[in-house]
Amino acid sequence: MTTWLTGDQHFGHFNAIAYCNRPWSTVDEMDNSLINAWNTVVKPDDLIYHLGDFTLGNRFEAERLFRELNGCIRVLDYPWHHDKRWLHRQSYISASLNAVYYENSIVIIEEVDSNVEGHGIPAILCHYAFEIWDRRHYGSLHFHGHSHGMLPHIPNRLDVGVDNAYKLTGEYRPLELQEACEFAKAV
């Protein structure tokens, strides 16, 4: 099983095409390309953390998309991002849709890497970027979305949204956890 990070697909959001300078003419083109890019790298048994702004659609649109996407999807909840339209402030598991919706707006994955002393360090996940985060001075990593690759680089912090993934890899796809760790640590 591989762990992946992503965010900011904005499925069904026409304005994301112009705002993010995406190469598609229609929402259908964008959505189909993003689904294909996701499924090309994420396998059905993989774990994928989605850091927000999944879709502007309603719950039924979100469920339709979940049925088309590979992986066990963990969606972070946050009351002010676009997913508030369909993501209710309750946790539930939908086995038929391979998705878990979190109440939490911040998730910590322990020991994703090790620091120079050889101690395990965590990754702090949130929709929004932090300037300071838990255990930063020990080398912890912070992964976020929302900024569409427009924030300046801060060591150990990385926007894992699809627009920044495109800037880093040339593809609008999720980033594998260890790949994201390497990008975050790059100067």
DSSP string, 107-167: EEEEEEEE-TTS-EEEEEEESS--SS-TTGGGT-EEEE-SSTT-SPP-TTEEE-SHHHHHH
> Which tens digits make up the pLDDT trace of 11-49?
999 999 999 999 999 999 999 999 999 999 999 999 999
Cα dihedral sign, 36-40-44-48: negative
Between 161 and 115, name the one with better pLDDT: 161
**What CATH code is assigned to 3-185?**
3.60.21.10
> Which tens digits make up the pLDDT trace of 79-118?
555 665 556 544 444 545 566 666 578 899 999 988 888 8
**CA 162 to CA 123: how far, in whole Å?**
18
Is residue 57 pLDDT above 90, yes or no? no
Q: Where are the domains of the chain?
A: 3-185
